[in-house]
C-alpha cells in the first residue's frame, strides 16, 4: 500500500501551497541579502535589526505553508481537473443599501473632533459609533432595514 495514513481518502497534489511558500521564502532570502549588505555598509544597528525582523516576516508564513501544505486538504486551484465553480464557495446574504456605514463615519468624525475640541464631542461620537454598530448588526441579522 503506497498511501500514507495522512493522505488516505483524498487526492494528493504536488503543488499544495508550494508556490506561495516559495514566494515568501524568496522574500526572506532577498531581505537577508539586503540585511547583510546594509549591516556592513551603513554601520547602523537599528535598521539591521528591522531588516532581520523583515526576514522573519517572510520565513514564518513561508515555512508554515511549506511544511503544512502537503498535510492540508487540497484547494480547488491545486487540482488539475477542477473547474471555476469548484472554487466559488458559499455566497452569503448581504444587506442591500444601509444608512449605518454613513452613521459610523459620522460618529468617527465626532470622535476625531473630540481630540481637537473636547471630550464631549468624543463621547457623543462614541455613542453614535456604538449605535451604528448595533444598528448594522441588527440589520444584517434580519436581512433588511430597520
Residues 81-103 have pLDDT tens digits of 878 777 777 776 665 688 999 99
Domain that holds residue 121: 100-142
Q: Is residue 78 part of a domain?
A: no
* Domain assignment present for 86: no
> For residue 112, which of 121, 101, 104 has the smallest C-alpha distance?
121
pLDDT digits (tens, 9 = 90+) for 10-63: 444 455 788 889 999 999 999 999 999 999 999 899 999 999 999 999 999 999
Please check whether residue 118 lies inside any domain of the structure.
Answer: yes
Kindly state whether residue 47 falls inside one of the protein's structural domains.
yes
Residue 76 covered by a domain: no
Residue in the block written with cell 516576516? 57
CA–CA dist 60, 144 (Å, integer): 42
Q: Report yes or no on 92 lying in a domain.
A: no
Q: What are phi and psi of 82, to 5 degrees?
A: -75, 150
Give the relative orientation of helices 45-68 and 18-42 as an angle to the nearest 10 degrees. 160
CB under 8 Å to 55, separation ≥6 — which residues? Answer: 28, 31, 32, 35
- Give the tens place of pLDDT for each residue, 40-49: 999 899 999 9
Residue 11 included in any domain: no
Residue 110's pLDDT band, with cuts at 50, 70 and 90, is: very high
The separation between the first and the last C-alpha atoms of the chain, rounded to the nearest angstrom, is 61
Number of independent structural domains in the chain:
2
Which run of H or of E encompasses 41? helix 18-42
In a domain, 58, yes or no: yes
User: What CA–CA distance (Å, rounded) separates 108 from 125?
Assistant: 6
Amino acid at each position: 500500500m503506497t498511501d500514507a495514513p495522512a493522505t488516505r481518502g483524498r487526492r494528493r497534489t504536488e503543488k499544495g501551497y508550494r508556490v506561495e511558500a516559495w514566494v515568501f521564502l524568496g522574500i526572506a532570502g532577498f531581505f537577508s541579502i539586503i540585511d547583510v549588505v546594509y549591516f556592513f555598509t551603513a554601520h547602523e544597528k537599528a535598521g539591521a535589526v528591522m531588516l532581520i525582523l523583515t526576514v522573519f516576516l517572510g520565513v514564518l508564513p513561508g515555512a508554515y505553508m511549506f511544511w503544512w501544505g502537503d498535510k492540508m486538504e487540497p484547494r480547488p486551484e491545486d487540482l488539475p481537473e477542477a473547474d471555476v465553480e469548484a472554487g466559488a464557495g458559499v455566497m452569503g446574504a448581504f444587506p442591500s443599501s444601509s444608512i449605518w456605514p454613513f452613521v459610523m463615519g459620522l460618529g468617527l468624525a465626532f470622535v476625531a473632533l473630540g481630540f481637537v475640541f473636547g471630550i464631549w464631542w468624543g463621547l457623543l461620537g462614541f455613542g453614535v459609533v456604538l449605535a451604528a454598530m448595533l444598528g448594522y448588526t441588527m440589520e444584517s441579522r434580519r436581512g433588511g432595514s430597520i
